[in-house]
Copies of this chain bind each other. A is one copy, B any other.
Amino acid sequence: MSVEQAGFDALAFRRTLGLFTTGVTIITACGQDGERVGVTANSFSSVSLDPPLVLWSLAKSARSLDAFTNAEYFTIHILSAGQEDLSNRFASRGEDKFSGIDVTDGFGGSPLISGCCARMQCRTVHQYEGGDHIIFVGEVVDLVSSDAAPLVFQAGKYALASRKADAPPFVTSTATEFKDDFLGYLLWRAYFQFAAELRKEGAISDYSDDEFLLLVTLAHNNWRSPGGIAKAMFHGDAEEDTQEALAGLEAKGLLERMTGADGVELVGLNRNGMDSALAALAAAKSTEAVFLDKLGLWDGAALKNLLRGFIVETDPGLPHPWERQDNEAEPLRTSV
């Protein structure tokens, strides 16, 4: 029965298949003429534990069909999250997919790509009829794996997976209660816990929140106007907070004021200030590392990814603290 004869169309079928989340693989082999072939596939599946068998399917229309059907061995690369570009390259019909990629030769000359989550070299043991595809079943003869986060494909898009939390993730709070399930609370509490830990770091605990933010801001972009900083730090009452933070860092001997081009007042960290900022940044990085480790590196990457997406999707155009504002004169070159 063709797709048309069934009660659904090809698009609906593709969309439904896309609801089954998968990893992404690149499968390579060496053709009889020595030509290296490779395709991106998400039709990989485990089959048997003993003997160790896996399978994948290749379109009968694929240019590499002859090479794969004649090859004694093929290699399955489970891609890592950083290999999206590689996935796109091997999903295209380009002539020279291996150009510029560092590969070594595996069993039967099948090209081995590095940087993957896992790599399984297989001996072809069955080729089965599968409609417009051939199903290749291979016996795994060699495997290596890494601790890189896997690349994921879902509903036609690249994705990252994160462990489901033990707490039920879909508690629906009532219309008038939000407690633990309200996004605003979750964001606030997560930030609060992170900040509370950060404040324990010796290199940070001497500063007020605003002083720390100012220190970091100036470490990224020194010698700025107080007005520009106030805008960039985007508090409700940023001017007053900014002046207080400036006075605080000045009293600690970390900040100096100068007159820039056009007589604009500029503030900047002096050498002591820059040293203190670098120490504070290093301490912040160390707190971050502890938190990411608690969460697990894969989930840490997924959380950062989601927060970045969230920020981009919902950004009302707020400035970033370290960006120089339009109203800020460029500072004169200084020798700090």
- Residues A14-52 near B (CB distance < 8 A): 14-17, 19-23, 25, 43-52
Taking A14-B49, A164-B81 as contacts, is the C-beta distance between A295 and B308 under 8 angstroms? no
Copies of this chain in its oligomeric complex: 2
Give the Cβ gap from A117 to chain B, nearest Cβ, in Å.
Answer: 5
Contact indicator B170/A82 (Cβ below 8 Å):
yes
Assembled-state Cα–Cα distance A150/B16 (Å):
11
Contact indicator A306/B165 (Cβ below 8 Å):
yes
Contact indicator B47/A178 (Cβ below 8 Å):
no
Taking A139-B1, A165-B312, A307-B190 as contacts, is the C-beta distance between A285 and B131 under 8 angstroms? no
Binds B, one of A64-72, A261-269, A276-284, A327-335: A276-284
- Residues A265-314 near B (CB distance < 8 A): 278, 281-282, 284-285, 287-288, 291-292, 294-295, 298-314
Contact indicator A50/B131 (Cβ below 8 Å):
yes
A255 interface residue, CB < 8 Å from B?
no
Contact residues in B for A139 (Cβ distance below 8 Å): 1
Give the Cβ gap from A284 to chain B, nearest Cβ, in Å.
Answer: 6
Assembled-state Cα–Cα distance A302/B165 (Å):
10
A315 interface residue, CB < 8 Å from B?
yes
A157 interface residue, CB < 8 Å from B?
yes
Give the Cβ gap from A4 to chain B, nearest Cβ, in Å.
Answer: 8
Taking A48-B132, A143-B13, A306-B162 as contacts, is the C-beta distance between A23 and B23 under 8 angstroms? no
Assembled-state Cα–Cα distance A34/B118 (Å):
43
Give the Cβ gap from A279 to chain B, nearest Cβ, in Å.
Answer: 10
Contact residues in B for A45 (Cβ distance below 8 Å): 43-45, 55-57
Contact residues in B for A188 (Cβ distance below 8 Å): 191, 195
Assembled-state Cα–Cα distance A84/B167 (Å):
12
Contact indicator B130/A48 (Cβ below 8 Å):
yes
Contact residues in B for A48 (Cβ distance below 8 Å): 57, 130-133
Contact indicator A184/B198 (Cβ below 8 Å):
yes
Across chains A and B, which 6 residue pairs bring their CB atoms closest together, nearest first? A48-B131, A165-B309, A187-B191, A186-B307, A45-B45, A20-B23
Q: Which residues of A contact B (CB under 8 A)?
A: 1-3, 6-8, 10, 12-17, 19-23, 25, 43-57, 78, 81-82, 84, 117-118, 120, 126, 128-133, 135, 137, 139-143, 145, 150, 152, 154-155, 157-167, 169-170, 175-184, 186-198, 216, 219-220, 234, 278, 281-282, 284-285, 287-288, 291-292, 294-295, 298-316, 318, 320, 322
Please name 16 pairs of A and B residues whose Cβ atoms are closer than 8 Å in the assembled complex, sorted by A.
A6-B142, A8-B140, A16-B118, A19-B145, A21-B22, A21-B23, A45-B55, A162-B306, A165-B308, A169-B304, A176-B278, A178-B285, A183-B303, A190-B311, A295-B314, A306-B306
List 19 additional A-B contacts (Cβ < 8 Å) besides A169-B305, A175-B285.
A6-B52, A10-B50, A21-B22, A46-B57, A48-B130, A48-B133, A51-B132, A81-B170, A150-B154, A157-B164, A162-B305, A162-B309, A169-B308, A179-B322, A183-B292, A184-B287, A186-B304, A192-B234, A303-B306
